[in-house]
Amino acid sequence: MKTWHKTGCVLCAQNCGLEVLVEDDRILRARPDKDNPRSQGYACRKGLNIVYHQYPRDRLTTPLKRSGNGFKEITWDQAINEIADKLQNIVTQHSPRSLAYMGGSSQGGHFEASFGVSLLRAMGSQYYYSSAGQEFSGIWWVLGRMLGRQYYTITPDEHAAEMLVGWGWNGMMSHQMPQARKTLTGFSKDPDRLLVVIDPRKSETAAIADIHLAVRPGADALLAKAMIAIIVQEGWEASDYITQHVEGWERIRPWFADFDCRSALDVCQLDDALVHQVCRLMTTKRWCMHPDLGIYMGRHSTLNSYMLNILEAICGRLCVPGGNIIPGMVMPMGFHADERSPNIWRTAETAMPPAAAGSFPPNVMPEEILADRPDRLRAVLVSACNPLRSYADTRMFEKAFDRLELLVVNDIVMSETARRAHYVLPCRSYYETWDGTFFPWTFPGVFFQLRRPVVTPPEHCLESSQIFTRLADRLGLIPDIPDHIRKAAAGDRLTFGIHLMEWAGKTPDVQKRMPFVLAKTLGHEWNSGALAAAWGMLMTAPKTFRKNAARAGFQTGLDQGDRIFQALLDTPQGLWVGKADIADNWEAICTPSGKIEVFIPELAEEAENLNAICEIEGLKMPPDFPLILNAGRHMDTTMNTLMRNPEWNKGKRACTIAVNPLDADSYGLMDGQLARIVTKAGSAVGELQVSDQVRSGTVLIPHGFGLICEESVYGINVNQLTQNTHRDPLGTPIHRFIPCRIENPSA
């Protein structure tokens, strides 16, 4: 019998609602779920092709151990025993600093992170690396300084805005906002609303914009400084708002008061009048901004974020309706890892702080492994990520991983990283187990969907949560759980909760090991550590969420979390679990002054000195690499490394080296022929695409290719062209500004 099941897309952070048709325990196809309150029947081509993700050709079904050049199948007991012993030896012999966990930021599964981080912490290490550390280190660090918390991701409140500014964001292809295409075309078509796009090229989003500022690649910080300066020089800033809510403006105002805007805009290759027009709109309209990888992975990453936030602050657009707001969230995405605190570790070799709300940037990991020091990294637990394709500089990562004494990979497939591991552990896919949505994209509503298993996992597959729990157990890191607590787990959840809290109150370490305790009790009953962790998260949610939940109809009380949990179980399409209030934004700000702090001492010199003259130098390309590679184009045919079966793109031009017609002409290259791209890190040959979407002087290649499928490589692994050292001071890769050249391989 065929049955439709409600679930969600696990491919990107939007997690749009899907319904999947299941027959004989197999997903046949997917359609958008109209009942999902956040996505409301919206889904893109990728989500509709979810079967290709769920049924890859290289699915793992049993634990594997490296043996010579290949792998041999082993039992779970053997895998857990051997890995635990090795971990213990490495940490005892060297130091806890020799251990890292890399994972926890997949777009479909969120609960493993609390287990991975708990295991790491229980073994004495703070070295948690994640994908967030290669996207958001700069912006989250800046938010930590300006608003007081690194996880106060300022989300655009687009529904209440008259103008949406997409800066370095191609939402028509990458989404990154609920119902992105619908929202963007809505802005574009509505005569009363405006879409402004700041992007060097005519992206799919720029193409429908009311105003497109085609900024020179890498010149965003300079442009933002010029825009702030225009506003200051014209006297357009939001004075009342600044007086009331902003601290430090008088101190930094001189950076802009005499700034030479015209020369700066010349360097940015932008029209003075058009930029003035945008500045006027920014000081008269209700607007919000969506910056993205063009800014975060762009040249000057952290400085870009600083400048953009100052711009928003002086226009009075932070923490106001229709502006950029601190969203309501069930749980913060990490913690405030202020590197000035002596309790926060830096990396040993590169002295990098965990600026992305507690996670370190993957870019520094190869140096941390290859370092010549006793406390270098020696053991890495990788889970739900694929560093050997996703992170910069595959060759450096391979070299580093080959030096590890222990590399363990949890995955559903034999990924490129798994192929180099000592142990490969087979996981349940996100359609075979429980997990949830997490990203706070909406305001004032707070959305949550508890995704349930819709098909049975292969017999020997486990959740990463369960794997980490087994390891912690074998390592003796979980306190002995009394019988009455175990038994209570089979009964009423609230009674269990009361017993658990009573025991936790008088037993050391229980609080710190809570994910494991939950997994071994409720998780044992429910066959899911993730589901147990979801219950635990709701039961111990922070006060701000409890308040939001009460506004959404879940009255406060000891059982509030449990009632929300039950409602989520009863509502498979997801639910509004909270309603935020803008007034709480101002209370949330926890800087020393209690206001938005625009003076950041560490960035002051760079910000003050930024001008046309130094940027003319900084933007000059070396003679042997005259072009700029944008290593990471997002299209309907790309999805990180989550779609491994090339058939999903059959007949499509998925992975090309794209250039502008002018550049193709000048190099004597034709659409469809082979071209070679060369960077400092390496070279690759692929199909050339000639397209007006590419800005002259630049080259576009998607990421997420170079995947091995049935022993042949599919597409270009763009990270063989990137260097892990080509990065911002906080570790973010500068993937949008890589010096390169194009050659004719047959010449």
Ligand X SMILES: Nc1nc2c(c(=O)[nH]1)N[C@H]1C(S)=C(S)[C@@H](COP(=O)(O)OP(=O)(O)OC[C@H]3O[C@@H](n4cnc5c(=O)[nH]c(N)nc54)[C@H](O)[C@@H]3O)O[C@H]1N2
CB-nearer residue toward ligand X: 201 or 317: 201
Residues 204-243 within binding reach of ligand X (CB under 6 A): 215, 217-218, 220
State the Cα–Cα distance between residues 684 and 77, nearest whole angstrom: 43
Provide the token pair at 229.
Answer: 């300066």
Vertex 164, ends 173 and 439: CA angle to 5°? 60
Provide the token pair at 110.
Answer: 């969120």
CB 47 within 8 A of CB 27: no
Provide the token pair at 567.
Answer: 């409602």
Vertex 97, ends 530 and 75: CA angle to 5°? 45
The residues with which 575 forms a beta bridge, in sequence order, are 448
364-385 exposure pattern, b = at least 16 Cβ within 10 A, e = fewer: bbbbbbebeeeebbbbbbbbbb
Q: Checking DSSP bridges between strand 99-103 and strand 128-129, what pairing results, if any?
A: parallel
CB-nearer residue toward ligand X: 108 or 322: 108
For ligand SF4, the nearest residue by Cβ is 47
Strands in 351-422 per DSSP E: 379-383, 406-411
Hey, what's the torsion of the CAs at 387, 390, 396, 402, to 10 degrees? Answer: 20
Q: How far is the CB of 305 from ligand X (least distance, A)?
A: 12
What is the sign, positive or negative, of the torsion defined by CA atoms of 522, 528, 532, 538?
negative
Q: Binding residues for ligand X, how many (CB under 6 A)?
A: 61
CB-nearer residue toward ligand X: 513 or 703: 703
Residues 164-203 within binding reach of ligand X (CB under 6 A): 167-170, 173-176, 198-201, 203
Picked from ligand SF4, ligand X, none, the partner binding residue 731 (CB below 5 to 8 A depending on kind) is none
Task: Give the binding range for ligand X (CB under 6 A) out of 66-74, 363-371, 385-393, 481-489.
Answer: 385-393
Q: Which of 39, 49, 125, 131 binds ligand X (CB under 6 A)?
A: 131
* Inter-CA distances, 418 with 53, 123, 257, 388, Å: 17, 23, 55, 9
Q: How far is the CB of 602 from ligand X (least distance, A)?
A: 23
What letter represents residue 628's amino acid? I
Picked from ligand X, ligand SF4, none, the partner binding residue 174 (CB below 5 to 8 A depending on kind) is ligand X
CB-nearer residue toward ligand X: 255 or 737: 737
* Inter-CA distances, 556 with 32, 140, 327, 365, 563, Å: 34, 31, 20, 44, 10
Residue 413 touches ligand X, criterion: CB under 6 A: yes
CB-nearer residue toward ligand SF4: 174 or 466: 174
Strands in 38-111 per DSSP E: 64-67, 70-73, 99-103
Vertex 664, ends 663 and 665: CA angle to 5°? 90
Q: Checking DSSP bridges between strand 738-743 and strand 698-702, what pairing results, if any?
A: unpaired
Q: How far is the CB of 148 from ligand SF4 (least distance, A)?
A: 31
Residue 109 touches ligand X, criterion: CB under 6 A: yes
Peptide bond preceding 444 in cis form (omega within 30 of 0):
yes
Q: How far is the CB of 363 from ligand X (least distance, A)?
A: 11
State the Cα–Cα distance between residues 324 and 321, nearest whole angstrom: 8
Picked from ligand X, ligand SF4, none, the partner binding residue 475 (CB below 5 to 8 A depending on kind) is none
Task: Give the binding range for ligand X (CB under 6 A) out of 551-559, 574-582, 640-648, 661-669.
Answer: 640-648
The mark string for 420-449 relative to ligand X (x by CB under 6 A, - otherwise) is: -------x-xx-------------------
CB-nearer residue toward ligand X: 196 or 664: 196
What are phi and psi for residue 413, nearest 5 degrees?
Answer: -130, 165
Q: Which of 310, 352, 384, 577 binds ligand X (CB under 6 A)?
A: 384
Picked from ligand X, ligand SF4, none, the partner binding residue 298 (CB below 5 to 8 A depending on kind) is ligand X
State the Cα–Cα distance between residues 335 and 330, nearest whole angstrom: 14
Picked from ligand SF4, ligand X, none, the partner binding residue 530 (CB below 5 to 8 A depending on kind) is none
Q: Which of 385, 538, 655, 659 binds ligand X (CB under 6 A)?
A: 385
CB-nearer residue toward ligand SF4: 50 or 194: 50
CB 252 within 8 A of CB 603: no
What letter represents residue 529's amino acid? G
State the Cα–Cα distance between residues 146 and 597, nearest whole angstrom: 5
State the Cα–Cα distance between residues 406 and 377, nearest whole angstrom: 10
Picked from ligand SF4, ligand X, none, the partner binding residue 436 (CB below 5 to 8 A depending on kind) is none
Picked from ligand X, ligand SF4, none, the partner binding residue 43 (CB below 5 to 8 A depending on kind) is ligand SF4
User: Quick one: residue 345, left, alpha or beta (phi over 0 = left, psi -120 to 50 = alpha)?
Assistant: beta
CB-nearer residue toward ligand SF4: 47 or 362: 47
Residue 294 touches ligand X, criterion: CB under 6 A: yes
CB-nearer residue toward ligand SF4: 311 or 450: 450
Task: Give the binding range for ligand X (CB under 6 A) out of 495-503, 546-554, 627-635, 678-686.
Answer: 627-635
CB-nearer residue toward ligand SF4: 71 or 438: 438
CB-nearer residue toward ligand X: 298 or 445: 298
Chain length of the chain:
747
Picked from ligand SF4, ligand X, none, the partner binding residue 422 (CB below 5 to 8 A depending on kind) is none
CB 645 within 8 A of CB 709: yes
Q: Which of 36, 464, 689, 724 binds ligand X (CB under 6 A)?
A: 464
Picked from ligand X, ligand SF4, none, the partner binding residue 176 (CB below 5 to 8 A depending on kind) is ligand X
State the Cα–Cα distance between residues 248 and 145, nearest whole angstrom: 12
Provide the token pair at 44.
Answer: 């893109």
Q: How far is the CB of 115 from ligand SF4 (least distance, A)?
A: 24
Residue with tokens 């209570």: 488
Residue 610 touches ligand X, criterion: CB under 6 A: no
Residue with tokens 């009075």: 316
CB-nearer residue toward ligand SF4: 12 or 631: 12
CB-nearer residue toward ligand X: 125 or 386: 386
Q: Which of 144, 298, 327, 523 binds ligand X (CB under 6 A)?
A: 298
The binding site for ligand SF4 (CB under 6 A) comprises: 9, 11-12, 14-16, 43-44, 46-47, 175
Residue 457 touches ligand X, criterion: CB under 6 A: no
CB-nearer residue toward ligand X: 225 or 595: 225
Peptide bond preceding 661 in cis form (omega within 30 of 0):
no
Residue with tokens 């939007």: 14
Interface with ligand X by CB under 6 A: which residues? 12, 105-106, 109, 131, 135, 167-170, 173-176, 198-201, 203, 215, 217-218, 220, 292-294, 297-298, 383-386, 390, 410-413, 415, 427, 429-430, 464, 630-636, 638-642, 703-704, 718-719, 722, 735-736
